[in-house]
Each structure stands twice: as structure tokens, then as C-alpha cells.
Amino acid sequence: MSSPAQTPSTLDTSAASPADPPANPADVATAYALEHQEVLRRLEVDPAQGLSAEAAAANLERHGPNRLPEPDKDHAFIRFIKHFNDVLIYVLLGAGALTAVLQHWADTIVILLVVVINALVGFLQEGRAERALEGIRNMLSPSADVRRDGSWTTVDAELVVPGDMVRLRPGDKVPADVRLTDTADLAIEESALTGESVPSEKTTEPSEEGAALGDRTSMAFSGTMLTSGTATGVVVGTGEDTEIGRINTMMSEVETLETPLTRQIARFGKVLSLGVLVLTVLLIGLGWGVHGTPMTALLQAAAGFAVAAIPEGLPALITITLALGVQTMAKRNAITRKLSAVQTLGSVTTICSDKTGTLTKNEMTAERVVLAGETFEVSGTGYLPEGEVTRDGERVDLAHPGLRRFVEIMSLTNDTELVRGESGAWSIAGEPTEGALKSLAGKLDFDDDAGSRLTTLPFSSQNKLMATTATLPEPEAAPEGQPLPEGETLVLVKGAPDRLLARASTQLTAQGQTEALDATAWNEHIDALSADGLRVLAAAYRPAQGSDRESLTVEGVGEELTFVGVVGIVDPPRQEAIDAIKVCHDAGIQVKMITGDHAGTATAIARAMGIDNGEGAISGTQLEATDDEDLRALAMRHHVFARTSPEHKLRLVRALQAEGEVVAMTGDGVNDAPALRRADVGVAMGLKGTEVTKDAAEVVLADDNFSTIETAVEEGRRIYDNLRKALVFLLPTNGAQATVVLFAVAFGWTLPLTPLQVLWVNMVTAVTLAFAFAFEPAEEGIMRRRPRDPKAAIVEARHVVQIVVVSLLIAAVTIIVFRWRMDAGDDLEVARTLATTVLVVCQVFYLFSVKSLEGFSLRPSVLFKNKVAWMMVGALTLLQVGFIYLPWLHTVFDTAVLDPFYLLITLGSGVLVLVVTELLKLVLYAGRVPNPRAAPRS
């Protein structure tokens, strides 16, 4: 952190050059108490130009990137040691201590080795999981709008430097400490800094010197959130030199690796360890009391049993499966902010989606303009400002007074600019709806620089309009008919037609005169345009009064407007969203459109996309007139909700949840945050979403596309499936080994596996096979299943049956093979090596059965899709071949070389396990409840 004392407090501005950047936070340490012009002067910034690219680069060099230092991380060694802090490991260490007391040093060493290898695997996998999450965190890095070389651009918030002019909108997280130079209705929530959750109103007036942070109303502080209004300001501090940097609080980040599921599994581990301890005591009692087995042998067997029964690899397995899963999801544009969302995603039953940009392309083009008594067609596609405006096939221009006023309004109440890229393609800096209107103005050669804006009321989804007080340019051509008053100052309003009609009392005629408003005729025009799926925007105006030049409020717009006309804008549906909706329906998920747009437009698009079920749209007004009880039925029956405000989303989420639905809700604006928080899965838009919304969401869509939600649901189902498969696979591994030891001791037989051999099986399967499930692809038809019951445990009763049966089966096969060879007179070493290999091979075959948990596994699509599984099987085979044939391993593990005939026995056992499990699955999973909502399959 640089302290003011280390840097000069005044600046010789004459000496400044881009190479020696003038911006120095120390000079503006009391920016809040200075006039903003003075701050700009000291920083040598021209607010209309912002910094030059060179000055920005030099400032970046000098002040460093705008980020806070990473929180201190534990040293790698400490993180490694933490893996020993687990009840399961304590039990293992206890078993190790036991063997040490018995002076069975080989056992002790191998147990310790297992513990260390397990910690190492856990440590490495955790590192990998964290790197995966780190990558996701970086994808969420916020951006900021800065003015560089005279134009506004969006940059990574880390690249914001002192002296930058920044622009702030509702829902933005302030990227740095900013001295405000221009504000409109600005309120900022500063709880991150002051603990005060009521937003504080901000202006450009200097605050008193020495004022407390919360009273510095001329400043916007880094990390705080805009709840309403807009602002421009100059950056006076970045990174550690911000107020938040001084108190060094980290802003909210992606969660850690812990989720309800991992906690549930950790709890399960504890219960299991307790069970193992109880059984161990029973085992010793039984062996000693009933069979009179010597205590040393019993204690050794007990140690082997504990090691066999404990799935020590489980925590690492769950973490890595989850983390790799969310990484795959992020690659497919669904960024998970909370790992726990993975669990919920798989059980989503209703997706409520915005329309504009999510279901539609958000590439808008004005197509038709309707003024009083006249309709104009607009040609051209995209934002390219080239095309014609025609009436009955005749080209028209701005000499038409009505059209001219219409274009003046649409172009001046507009914050968006058309940008021509290097390739010559046109795009926009700002909002697509406004881009379409700018393009329309461009087609008529309207010069919007000639007008000047005095005050602005920004657009909000609540008000559904934008207004500005502006002085109009003089028309270049004399209008036909009666001229309009020229160069005068007017309040110009553009917005949703119904809102503007409600505020209008007159309308503008083609000749530029005003007459009484014919609302019926306008409503017919609006309905006709929206029935074609066009987005309709209206323009209206009134003469400005004195106070309008100072500020504009929504009430101040008044109800005496002159209505000018409406424009129909096309916003084509996304084809991939149409496909995704079909997939969702097949998956038993309802899709609902909740939009701020007109009911007609919404219904037309919903119909084209397969969302509307014929019940039609419910409007925001109807929602308001419905009580919570009735809303539940309404919310279930209808699929289109139009002219809604963000508050309606919250009520809809509640109503749907009351009906037992698991709801995913999308949002982008600041007011959507409560609904997103309330939803089971809040989904924020990555491109047009505000920081506030992203903060409230579980999932952020990097491409704002509905089909990505469907992908996320599918991935959520896949990850959850794989976690379940990993459990259903791993637990019988331990179950079988424990059963073998338990039976042998209980019946006083020779142990089919020495404790060391049990450890071997445990170790090699834990480092190989179990991880195959992190890479397992989705099962076919995963999106034709009904959503999962969110309350159901990950391992359901029928899975428990499978785990128990398979444990007993593998144990039985192992014991039978061992006793058969012993009875046949084989050496103990040979019979034990065989038994160990049977266990391992049975697990390999079982792995392939679990790959399709509830379906038939012996299909190419199940057997060959996961390369990692085969690599793991290869690695395991190598290890096991070493176990059988390497002399030095013979000495360690008391093993012996096996004949090829024995290998056939092991393969036969594996096949038997596979066949029996497949049959078992037929019994367990037959007659599963069909999906009631699924569309008929072709």
C-alpha cells in the first residue's frame, strides 16, 4: 500500500506526458472533499476523452493491476498434513499402531504407506480440483466501462487505472474508488465497506473534509453495488489503494470445495468408522471366545478388517468428481458459483427464463414503423445503418415531420453507439434494442450529434421507459406541411407502448400537428405488430419545463405527452434454444417464459418456440390482481408471463415452489437478485447480467443462452450420476474385503487374504478404478428421465441392496475359490495370491456393470465410451501382474506365481460377478416410474 507521505502531494502538471503519467492517487487522497473539476484537473483528465491508451498502460505499469492480494494460503505441507485429519484415517493409524505393537513390521509399514499414499492422492486431487475452480473464478472476473481515447470500452476490471473515467449502471459492482463527476438518481449499497445495508444516495457535491466513509457521498467505493441510477466518475484509487483494499476484505468469491453432499459423505464416513470399530471388537470377541484363536493372530486380522472396511479414498473421490464436473460444465459455458448447485441442477423441474437474449438472439432490427395513419417498412438486416424506409413502396426521408420527430426521439433517448469493426462488420456498444433504433436513424441519415441532452431518466425494467430532456437539432430540410417548432427543448420519451399511451393525451399527425389521442387505433397497431412476434417500442414527447432541465423523474414525465408512433423490431428466436426446450420437455422439465415484453409479442415467440401450451399469457397486471393462493394454480397452468416486473419473478418462484417444483430462474437486472436467491438454482446472465445478479446466482451463463441452462441441467444430472456410481462401485469393494475377513474369523478359517494383501487390493483400486467415474460420460437418455427427487439420498434403498448383494457375492466368490484351491492341496501362498487376484478382477468387471447403473452394461456405448476407465484398468492390470510375478513383491506380500489356468479362474469369477450383477439390476431397476411429462418418444 502506498502512503501519501512517500509520494509528492502536489504535481507539476506541466511536466506530465503520457510516458510520465500524471494520475497519482496521493494527489487526490481527499478527492471526496474536492470539487470534481479540481480532481479532474489534478489528475489531468479530460472527462470527454478519458485516458489515452498509452497513459492507461503507463498507469497500469506504475500502480499495478486493480486487484486485491489473494488471501494467504496454507503452505503445501500443511495442506498435505490436513489430509490425515479424518476419522477414517485415525482408525487406519490405530490399526497400524496395533500391528506395530505386535511387531508385524511389514503390516505396519504397508498400513502407513496406504495412509500416506491416500493423503498424497487426496492432496494431488484437491490441488487439481482447486485449479479447476480457480479457472472458473477467473471466468467470472468482473469488467468495467471506461473511456479511453474518447470512446467507451469495456475492459477487465483489473485493468482499470487511476485517472480512468468510468461509467456505472444499476447492478454494477464499482470497480475502483471513484470520484463521481456526473450522477442521475444514484444510490449505492455500501455494506461491504460500512456494514450499512440501506443504499446511500450519492451526488457530485464535495463532502466535508474528514467525513466518515459512509458520509462521503461524492464517492463510489470499490466493491460496493449500484442499486439504482447511473453515474460517471474518475478513478482515484485502485487495488490496494482503495478503501476496501485498506480493510482488505475479500469480495464474494466462488465457494470452497465443501458442499452439502461432501458433508453428508463425511458424516457417513464417521458413522462407518464407528461401525467398523464395533465390528472389530465383536470380531475379536468371536474369534477368541468361540474359536480360541490366538490373540496376536486376531489382532492382526482385526487390523486387516479395519483397513478392508474403510473406504479411505472416498473424500478425494467425491471432491475430484465434483470439481472436474463443474470444470466440464464451465467449458460448456455454465459457470457454477456454488458447487452445491450441481446437486440441485439434476432435480430441476421448472426452468423460468427471460426472453430477450436468452430465448431470442438479441440481435434486433427495426422492421416496421407506424405513425398516425401511416405505416413504413424498413429494409436492411443487422445493425448495418444501410437500408431504406418506404411507405407504399416509395422511399421517405426526414422531410416527413412525423418520421423526423420519431427518429429524433428514438435516437436521442439512446445510450448506444453503432461501431464498425475492423472487418467492416457493424456491432453495437450498448443495448441491442437501442442499437436497432440507432441503425434505423442511420438509414435515414439522421445526425444525432447535432442534438444535446440536458438530463436523463435511465431505462429501468420497472418503469419500462427512458426519457431525456434535449435540445433538438435544426432540421436540414424544410418539412412538408406545417413546420414543427425547431431547435427547441423537449422531454423525449421512448418505452413500452402501453406505458407511453397511458401517459399521452394527444398524438402527432403526419403533418406535424397535434390532435386528440386515438388509443384504440394505436392498440390495434400494437397488437398487429406483436402478433407477428415483433418487439414494439413507442415514442412520445412534450415541451420541456424549467425543472426538466435540472432533473427528470418518472413522475416528472407526466401524463400530457404527445404520442408519435411505434416501431416493430424483430428479434429472432435462437434455434438452439428451441431444441433445448424440446429436450427439457422430454426430461420432464417445464419451461416458462417470464418477460418484460408485451403479451402479444411474448405469446407469438413462445408459440414459435414450443413454450406456449395454448393457455396464453398472463400479464404482470393480472399477477398483481391474483392472491398467493390462486397464483399457484396460475403459475402451474400458464407458461408465458408478460409485462412483468422483477418483483413478479419472486412471487412466481414462491408459487411454483409451493407446488413442489424445483425452480431454476434466470435474471440479469439488479432487481432480479431476490428471485434468483429464492430460486433453487439462480441463473445469471454472464454477458448482460449485472454483478449483483451474478453474486446472487448459483450458475452464471457465459453466453446468456437458454440452451446452456439445459446443458447445465444435463451436466448436473451426469455429475450426480457419477458420484452415485462412484459410491455404488467403491463401497462393495470395501464391503467384500471386510466380509471375507469377517467370515474367516467368525468361522475360524484360514484368512483367504493376509491383512497386507487386503491393503494391496485397497490401495491399487483406490488409486486407479475409482477415479474412472470422474470421467464417465452421461448415460444415454439421461435427458429422458424424470427429474430426481431433491430430498432423496444419493444412494437410495435399491442401491444399498445392490451394494450389499455385490459385497456378499464378491466375498463368496473369493472365499469359495480360496477354499476350493486349499482343499485341492495348493500352497497357501498360491491360494491367497489367487484370492487377492479374484477380488481385484471381480472389481474390474463390476466397474463395467456400474458404468450403466440401472441399465444393461454390455453395450459398446457403455463399454467403450470412457477412455480413462480403460487406462485405469490397464494400470491396474500392470500392478496386479507385478503382484503375481515380481519376486520382490512376493517377499513383501507373501505371494506366489500363478499358472495361466488360475488366471482363467479369476476371469471366470469376474464374468460371473458381471452376469449376476446385470441380472440383479434387472430385478432392482425394472418397472421404474415412467416420466409423466415426457413427450412421446419418436
Active site residues per annotation: 354
Selected range binding ligand ATP among 154-162, 364-372, 492-500, 902-910, rule: CB under 6 A:
492-500
Nearer to ligand ATP, 431 or 698 (CB): 431
Q: Exposure of 6 by Cβ count < 10 A (0-12 exposed, 13-18 middle, 19+ buried)?
A: exposed
The verdict on 496 binding ligand ATP (CB under 6 A) reads yes
Select the residue interacting with ligand ATP from 265, 298, 465, 583 (CB under 6 A): 465
Nearer to ligand ATP, 434 or 691 (CB): 434
Nearer to ligand ATP, 558 or 855 (CB): 558
Residue 102 makes CB contacts below 8 A (sequence gap 6+) with 296, 299, 300
Q: State which amino acid sits at residue 119.
A: A
Structure letter (DSSP) for residue 17:
B
Site for ligand ATP in 566-625 (CB under 6 A): 595-598
φ and ψ of 480, to 5 deg: -70, 155
> CB of residue 406 vs ligand ATP: minimum separation in angstroms?
14
Nearer to ligand ATP, 559 or 827 (CB): 559
Residues in contact with ligand ATP, shown as a per-residue x/- string from 32 to 71 under the rule CB under 6 A: ----------------------------------------
Q: How many CB atoms lie within 10 A of CB 710?
A: 25
Q: Which three cell numbers stand for residue 768?
A: 486407479
Query: Could you give the C-alpha distances from 896 to 558, 882, 900, in angstroms and in order?
Result: 95, 11, 13
Q: Which three cell numbers stand for residue 157?
A: 476490471
Q: Which residue is nearest to ligand ATP (CB)?
A: 596
The verdict on 438 binding ligand ATP (CB under 6 A) reads no
> CB of residue 670 vs ligand ATP: minimum separation in angstroms?
12
Selected range binding ligand ATP among 351-359, 372-380, 605-613, 712-720, rule: CB under 6 A:
351-359
Across the strands, what pairs with 445?
none
Nearer to ligand ATP, 279 or 409 (CB): 409
Q: How many CB atoms lie within 10 A of CB 430?
A: 16
Residue 627 makes CB contacts below 8 A (sequence gap 6+) with none
Nearer to ligand ATP, 349 or 413 (CB): 413
Q: Where are the alpha helices (DSSP H) in 198-355?
A: 243-247, 260-289, 295-309, 314-331, 341-345
Q: Which three cell numbers stand for residue 352?
A: 423460468
> CB of residue 430 vs ligand ATP: minimum separation in angstroms?
9
Q: How many CB atoms lie within 10 A of CB 420?
A: 12
Nearer to ligand ATP, 535 or 654 (CB): 535
The verdict on 461 binding ligand ATP (CB under 6 A) reads yes
Residues 276, 267: Cα–Cα separation, whole Å:
14
Q: State which amino acid sits at residue 517.
A: L
> CB of residue 792 vs ligand ATP: minimum separation in angstroms?
34
Site for ligand ATP in 354-393 (CB under 6 A): 354-356
Q: Identify which of 689, 646, 650 has the alpha carbon closest to the alpha carbon of residue 172.
A: 689
Helix axes 755-767, 867-885, angle to 10 degrees: 150
Nearer to ligand ATP, 119 or 673 (CB): 673
Selected range binding ligand ATP among 63-71, 333-341, 431-439, 844-852, rule: CB under 6 A:
431-439
Across the strands, what pairs with 20?
17
Nearer to ligand ATP, 259 or 666 (CB): 666
Residues 525, 188: Cα–Cα separation, whole Å:
41
Residues 166, 221: Cα–Cα separation, whole Å:
12
> CB of residue 509 vs ligand ATP: minimum separation in angstroms?
24
Selected range binding ligand ATP among 157-165, 390-398, 426-434, 825-833, rule: CB under 6 A:
426-434
Q: Residue 229 region, left (φ>0) first, then alpha (ψ -120 to 50), else beta?
A: left
The verdict on 649 binding ligand ATP (CB under 6 A) reads no
The verdict on 704 binding ligand ATP (CB under 6 A) reads no
DSSP-assigned states of every residue in 638-701: --EEES--HHHHHHHHHHHHHTT--EEEEE-SGGGHHHHHHSSEEEEETTT--HHHHHH-SEEE
Nearer to ligand ATP, 434 or 710 (CB): 434
Select the residue interacting with ligand ATP from 155, 283, 409, 537 (CB under 6 A): 537
Site for ligand ATP in 683-702 (CB under 6 A): none
Nearer to ligand ATP, 338 or 678 (CB): 678
> CB of residue 161 vs ligand ATP: minimum separation in angstroms?
30
> CB of residue 562 vs ligand ATP: minimum separation in angstroms?
17
The verdict on 459 binding ligand ATP (CB under 6 A) reads yes
Selected range binding ligand ATP among 67-75, 110-118, 259-267, 490-498, rule: CB under 6 A:
490-498
Selected range binding ligand ATP among 137-145, 427-435, 517-525, 925-933, rule: CB under 6 A:
427-435
The verdict on 433 binding ligand ATP (CB under 6 A) reads yes
If DSSP codes are grouped into helix, strand and coil, which group holds residue 542? strand
Q: How many residues bind ligand ATP (CB under 6 A)?
A: 20
Residue 933 makes CB contacts below 8 A (sequence gap 6+) with 585, 588, 589, 590, 786
Instruction: Report the residue count for the chain.
Output: 938
> CB of residue 851 vs ligand ATP: minimum separation in angstroms?
41
Selected range binding ligand ATP among 488-496, 630-638, 800-808, 841-849, rule: CB under 6 A:
488-496
- β-bridge pairing 165-168 and 225-237: antiparallel
Nearer to ligand ATP, 400 or 494 (CB): 494
If DSSP codes are grouped into helix, strand and coil, which group holds residue 146? strand
> CB of residue 143 vs ligand ATP: minimum separation in angstroms?
20
- β-bridge pairing 374-378 and 365-371: antiparallel
> 428-435 — which CB contacts under 8 Å span 24+ positions?
428/383, 429/151, 429/152, 429/153, 431/459, 432/356, 432/357, 432/362, 432/363, 432/364, 432/571, 433/356, 433/364, 433/535, 433/537, 433/569, 435/364, 435/383
Residues in contact with ligand ATP, shown as a per-residue x/- string from 538 to 557 under the rule CB under 6 A: --------------------
Residues 298, 301: Cα–Cα separation, whole Å:
5
Nearer to ligand ATP, 597 or 612 (CB): 597
Selected range binding ligand ATP among 124-132, 170-178, 430-438, 617-625, rule: CB under 6 A:
430-438
> CB of residue 465 vs ligand ATP: minimum separation in angstroms?
6
Structure letter (DSSP) for residue 143:
E
Selected range binding ligand ATP among 176-184, 446-454, 458-466, 504-512, rule: CB under 6 A:
458-466
DSSP-assigned states of every residue in 406-475: HHHHHHHS---EEEE-TTS-EEEES-HHHHHHHHHHHHTT--GGGSEEEEEE---TTT-EEEEEEEPPPP
User: What b/e readout covers 175-207, taking b as 16+ CB neighbours within 10 angstroms?
Assistant: bbbbbbbbbbbbbbbbebbbeeeebbebebebb
If DSSP codes are grouped into helix, strand and coil, which group holds residue 859? coil
φ and ψ of 778, to 5 deg: -65, 145
> CB of residue 842 vs ligand ATP: minimum separation in angstroms?
55
> CB of residue 518 vs ligand ATP: minimum separation in angstroms?
20
What residues make contact with ligand ATP under the rule CB under 6 A?
354-356, 431, 433-434, 459, 461, 464-466, 494-496, 535, 537, 595-598
